[in-house]
Structure 1
């Protein structure tokens, strides 16, 4: 039995990018391909930020950050990471998350901006 003292820190999830409650009960489970994310941009504090725009990688079906210039499937926005997820210590370990696919999004409060092409990809999301 290990009775040593341990400390764990939890991040604060900023969901101010959500424009309404609509759609929050209908998220979809996804696997995040950690190797496609940039630590300083997507998880600077050790957590993948809530509201990161996501695209689905064609080979394998995992999800990574939306990038209109990508050619691996991530050039099509499919939704947003609904809640913050603790990033693994290694970028070779993938983690599970929840995908927000319809509802209202406050574009100015997203942790990573979405261009016009990305906005056009998600007809069930209304940007306010």
Structure 2
């Protein structure tokens, strides 16, 4: 079950959308990083929610893919992953913005109370429900799995993503796909099946 949070944005009421999470959030899956708020300000407002002509507060959406800045004035900070960027943010997705970040709008521009935010670096997600979806060839850091229709797809190299070697068996076979079986009434995962690179399948027992 995902947690929903409701915020007031002047005239607009904003409900935090955590549908990109698959299941409950873990307590040890995030780190604190510093973001550069101005990088989330774009003409199409794709990173924001609560936008309106009279809104005094807008919110940077949770679940936005973040990337580390490795060149320029903001080295070491983070911004939205962008394959068109030239400051390092085009290289790899480091994690996902853990929670919405409030931005106050005043005469001088944007004002963020604290640019230190939580970044989720591992876990099960529903990639199709991310507020901004990376291109299919994007490189993922951390340890992320995309769970959709009970099929688990590794996204990160450490999770055995496509094109990266996972743990090998005696004959060198690696896991290429995991399918899970879910009880329709309880929604609990009851079993599964792993497909190997040699074409064999292995049944997964859930205890």
TM norm structure 2: 0.52
Q: Deviations over 1:81-109 (max 9, x none)?
A: 01111024334756221101001110111
Shift of 1:111: 0.5
| Residues 71-80 or 34-43, more deviating | 34-43
Task: Go from structure 1 to structure 2 and tell me whether the alpha carbon gap of 1:92 and 1:71 turns closer, same or farther (over 3 Å shift).
Answer: farther
1:111 to 116, 125, 131: 131
Match of 1:25 in 2: 28
Cα distance, 1:121–1:26 mapped onto 2, change above 3 Å: closer
The answer to whether the aligner puts 1:65 opposite 2:80 as a matched pair is yes
Rg larger for: 2
Structure 1 residues 116 and 43: CA distance shift in structure 2, 3 A:
same
**Number of equivalent positions:** 120
CA 1:43–1:24: 2 relative to 1, 3 Å: farther
Q: Distance in 1 between matches of 2:77 and 2:36?
A: 6
1:43, 1:31 → 2: CA distance?
A: 18
Q: Which has the higher strand share?
A: 2
Among residues 106, 110, 115, which one is paired with 1:95 in the alignment?
A: 115
Larger % of helix: which?
Answer: 1
Deviation at 1:9, TM superposition (A): 2.0
Residue number in structure 1 paired with 2:101: 85
